[in-house]
Structure 1
Amino acid sequence: MSALFAVLKAIAAVCLAGAIFYVMNLAASGLFTNPGLDQPAYVILPDDAPAAAAVEAPSFEELMASADPARGERAFRDCQACHRVEEGVHAVGPSLYGVIGRDIASFDDFRYSAAFSGLEGVWTPERIDALITNPQGFARGTAMTYSGMRRASDRADLIAYLQTLGM
C-alpha cells in the first residue's frame, strides 16, 4: 500500500508542477504580449541584430493637410472643461474663438498666468501644436493642468477645428 501511495504522490507532484508551469506561462504571456496587435509588447534584440528602420512620422504640414475639423470638434471635448469657443466668453481658460492669428495673452478681461503673460507673438498652428503637446514644456509654470495630447493626428484635427472658429 505504501508503494502505491508513493507512486500517487509522485504523479500528483508532476501534475501540480505542470499546472503551476501552465498558469505561470499564461501570466507571462499576458504581461509580454498585446492581444490587440498579436505582437510582443516588448522585444529584446541581441546586440548583433540590426535595428529596425525608423518609421518616419508625417510632418506637421502633412498632418494639417489631412486634418478633419469634425474630428477636431470631438477632440475639443477635452478642452471644454476649461475653454469656450464663443466670442469673448471665458471660463477657467480664455475663449478660443478666433485663436489662430490672435496675439498671445491678448484679452484684457482675462487674467493669464505669468507663464503666458511673458510670451510674445501670435498663436500659429505650430505654437498651438507645441502647447497642446506639452503645456508645461511650452509655458513653464502655466496654471494649465492639462497633461497634453499625445497623438499628432488628434492635435492636427483639433487645430483644424480651431481654425474654423471666428472666420
Structure 2
Amino acid sequence: MFDTMTITKIVGGFCGTLLVFLLGAWLAESIFHPHVAYHDGERVQGFIIEVAEEETGPVEEVSEEELIAQFQEAFAAADPAAGEREFRPCAACHSLVAGENRTGPYLAGVVGREVDTAQGFNYSGALERVVDVWTPEHLNFFIENPSGYTPGTSMNFRGIRDLQARANLIAYLATIQ
C-alpha cells in the first residue's frame, strides 16, 4: 500500500511545514519582540525616542472680560450664511422649527430666550444653575464646551473650538425666530 517514496514524501511534507512554521515564528519574533534598551543605567523594554524639550513660558490666563470682548469683536464681524453651514451638525439633534423638539430642544428664537423654556422638552436642570438667559455671550461659552460650561448637562457634544465659527453660528441662530 505505502512504498518507501510515499512515506518519504509524507515525512518531507511534515518537515517542510514544520520548517515554514519555525521560520515564521522566528520572523515574527524578530519583528514584534520588545527591544531592550537602557535608560539612565536601567534596563527598559521598548524604544527610547529622544525629544528636544521646548521651552514654554507660563500659560497666560485670559480673564472672562477679555474673552467676552474677543467674542463681541468676532460677533460683530459674524457671517450668518457661514453660521448656517456651522449649524448642519447641530441639525442632527436640534430643529429650527418652534415646538419641534428632537434629541435636543428646538433652537428657534434661542438667542435672548430664557434657559430651559423650550416647550415640551425635558431638561436636565444643569443649565439653570449656570445661566438665566441665552445671550450671545452665554451661547458662545456653552457651544465652546457644553459639558465644561454646564457640568451635568445631558448634551453630548464636544463643542466648537473656533471663535469665529461659534460667532457665525450664533449670528445665524439670532436670525431664526
Which deviations, in whole Å up to 9, do the C-alpha atoms of 1:3-46 show, x marking residues without a partner? xxxxxxxxxxxxxxxxxxxxxxxxxxxxx9xxxxxxxxx98349
Alignment match of 1:135 (pick from 143, 146, 160): 146
Equivalent position of 1:37 in the other structure: none
Alpha-carbon shift at residue 119 of structure 1 (Å): 4.7
| Aligned partner of 2:121 among 81, 105, 110 | 110
How far is the alpha carbon of 1:73 from its aligned partner? 0.3
Give deviations 1:82-104, integer Å, cap 9, x for gaps: 10001111100000000011110
TM-score w.r.t. length of structure 2: 0.60
Can you give the 5+ residue segments of structure 1 that lack an aligned partner in the other structure?
Answer: 1-31, 33-41
Matched residue SS, 1:95: coil
Q: Superposition pairs for residues 11-50 of structure 1, below 5 Å?
A: 44-45=54-55
The structure 1 segments of at least 4 consecutive aligned residues displaced by more than 3 Å after TM superposition are 117-120
If asked which structure has higher relative contact order (CA below 8 Å, sep 6+), I would say 1
Letter of the structure 2 residue corresponding to residue 125 of structure 1: P
Deviation at 1:116, TM superposition (A): 2.6
Deviations 1:49-81 (A, max 9, x none): xx9xxxx99811110111000000000011111
TM-score (norm 1): 0.64
Q: Is 1:161 equivalent to 2:159 in the alignment?
A: no
Name the SS for the 2:54 alignment partner.
coil
Query: Counterpart amino acid of 1:79?
Result: C
**Residues in 2 aligned to 1:130 and 1:98: alpha-carbon distance in whole angstroms:** 18
Distance 1:76 1:45, change over 3 A: same
Deviation per CA, 1:100-152: give whole Å up to 9, x if none. Answer: 11110013411011313545521000000011001011110111110010100
Q: Secondary structure at the match of 1:159?
A: helix
Q: Which of 90, 95, 100 is residue 84 of structure 1 equivalent to?
A: 95
Q: Quote the RMSD (CA, aligned, Å).
A: 2.7
**Higher gyration radius (CA):** 2
How many aligned residue pairs are there?
120
Pick closer, same or farther for the CA change 1:94–1:46 going to 2, 3 Å: closer
Pick closer, same or farther for the CA change 1:43–1:149 going to 2, 3 Å: farther
Partner amino acid, structure 2, of 1:158: L
- Following the alignment from structure 1 to structure 2, what is the Cα–Cα distance between the partners of residues 99 and 143? 18
Q: 1:72 aligns with which of 83, 104, 121?
A: 83
**Aligned residues of 2:131 and 2:138 also touching (Cα < 8 A):** no
Task: State the alpha-carbon separation in 2 of the partners of residues 165 and 94 from structure 1.
Answer: 14
CA distance in 1, matches of 2:160, 2:133: 21
Alpha-carbon distance between aligned partners in 1 of 2:154 and 2:88, rounded to the nearest angstrom: 19
Which residue does the alignment assign to 1:149? Answer: 160
